Amino acid sequence: MYQKWLDLGLSKGITDLEIYAVHNRSLKLSVYQNKLDQHVQSAVESVTIRGIYQNKLSTVRFENLSDENVSKMLDQLIENAKALTVVEPAIIYEGSKDYPVVKDELFDFKTVPVIEKINLLKTLEHEILACPEVSQVQTTMYQEVESKTAIVNSKGLNLSRQQSYAYAYAVGVFKRGETDIQTAYDIKLAKKFSDFDPKHMAKTTIDMGVAKLGGKSIPTGSYPVIFSNEMFSDMLGVFSSIFSGEQAFRNMTPLKTKVNEKIFDEKINLVNDPMHSDAFFKPTFDDEGVASKKRHVIKDGIFTGFNHNLKTAKIFNTEPTGNSFSSSIQMANFVLEPGKRSFDDIIKGISSGVLITDLIGLHAGVKTVSGEFSLQAAGQKIENGKIAYPVKMIVLSGNFFDMMNHVVEIGSDLKFSLSGVASPSVHIESLMIGGE
């Protein structure tokens, strides 16, 4: 089918073209008050065709895969190319010399009866409701996804990859007294159904929720800060765009002239690591067909260079790095390399500090070009080397670049987020906290 489309496009005068096809199947279930209130199944196949016409690269996307519609879309691609006035590098990739091999086995979630998935949710909801400080469970959700991707082009490239996974969570509402109300949830991602343990999932959610109750305000001031591994992953994810070649091309990153310069504390090693053993997803190639590879973005505090797609690699006269995903340049598993000491050992040396466990408004409160951030936050007060009590209603302010040059210690508790960013807990010398 794809070869027929390629031949048709070439016959219409398109110099080179590429087909990017994705087939997604999903199942979504939700339970509320022990009853199934959502059951949605979907199967969607979409195709994106990139083509070069008159030395200009144009793109069309569609879901109607009939030969008649494909012909219309190729004609539209040509018309789009004719209308382009901004000329940028037009490249269809012939392929990398070799590609990494993923050994993970794919689990077929369709083999598990739907009733078992519903019972998972009912058990999870029941276990959370057993906590006396839970007033209700807002929702209990399960979703499974199966995805198949193929890239075929006129230069002989023919690649495919697939993945399957499921995730589940419940949002618990925790209440102490009349005014102290908190919510908590923990998303569990699974590569096979037997990975789900509803009792353990419930305990994690309950522990998170109860830990938020009884929160106190603290005085405004500068405090030693420890970011939990989840929260530092979020911070790294928000600022990851500063390493993008596209941002450098558009002068939207302060690092354009900083390649091979020390920009962070020498303890910082940030790695683009597609095949990391702990990663949930391991892309062997990006959306342009470039092989994924491990690469230090920051090595001992030194910025080694930008991530590039085909276009920006051509502009900067370098090699593409295999980081083109969803029409932008993104990390393929972004990892802050861990230290050697545990979280408990790190906090022992802090007499008065704050552990950050929640950040709100990560996009609205962050300026990636300047590095400035001001974020509503919550967490735990650290006193005499121990967790003392919950902290509420604080605002955490600082500058990302300054913060990354004042890292006291990096923990050993590396954890991957669902977004593909991994970090341990990180101890920062001090940040400004707005409290009472």
Which CATH number belongs to the domain containing residue 21 in this structure?
3.30.2290.10
- DSSP codes joined into one string, 49-62: EEEEETTEEEEEEE
Nearest CA to 57 among 69, 70, 48?
Answer: 48
359 and 383 housed in the same domain = yes
207 and 292 housed in the same domain = no
**How does pLDDT run across 171-207, given as a tens digit for each residue?**
999 999 999 999 999 999 999 999 999 999 999 999 9
Collapsing DSSP to helix, strand or coil, 80 comes out as: helix
Q: Which of 151, 181, 211 is the last residue of a domain?
A: 211
38 and 163 housed in the same domain = yes
184 and 246 housed in the same domain = no
Q: What is the residue type of 348?
A: K
189 and 219 housed in the same domain = no
Residue with tokens 């110099």: 15
| pLDDT given at position 188 | 97
The span from the CA of 227 to the CA of 214, in Å, is 20
The span from the CA of 334 to the CA of 282, in Å, is 12
Q: Which of 193, 211, 229 is the last residue of a domain?
A: 211
Q: What is the residue type of 200?
A: H
155 and 262 housed in the same domain = no
| pLDDT given at position 96 | 96
The span from the CA of 279 to the CA of 167, in Å, is 15
The number of CA neighbours under 13 Å toward the Cβ of 250 is 11
133 and 245 housed in the same domain = no
Is the Cα torsion angle 114, 118, 119, 124 positive or negative in sign? positive
126 and 227 housed in the same domain = no
202 and 233 housed in the same domain = no
Q: Could you list the residue range(s) of the whole structural domain that residue 329 is in?
A: 215-436
Walking along the chain (436 residues) 10 residues at a time, the average pLDDT comes out as 96 98 98 97 97 96 96 98 91 96 90 98 98 97 97 97 96 95 96 97 98 95 97 97 97 96 98 95 96 97 98 96 96 97 95 96 91 96 96 95 98 95 98 95
166 and 240 housed in the same domain = no
| pLDDT given at position 104 | 75
Question: Which two three-digit tokens encode residue 338?
Answer: 């861990």
196 and 146 housed in the same domain = yes
9 and 107 housed in the same domain = yes
- Number of domains making up the chain: 2
Q: Which of 178, 211, 244 is the last residue of a domain?
A: 211
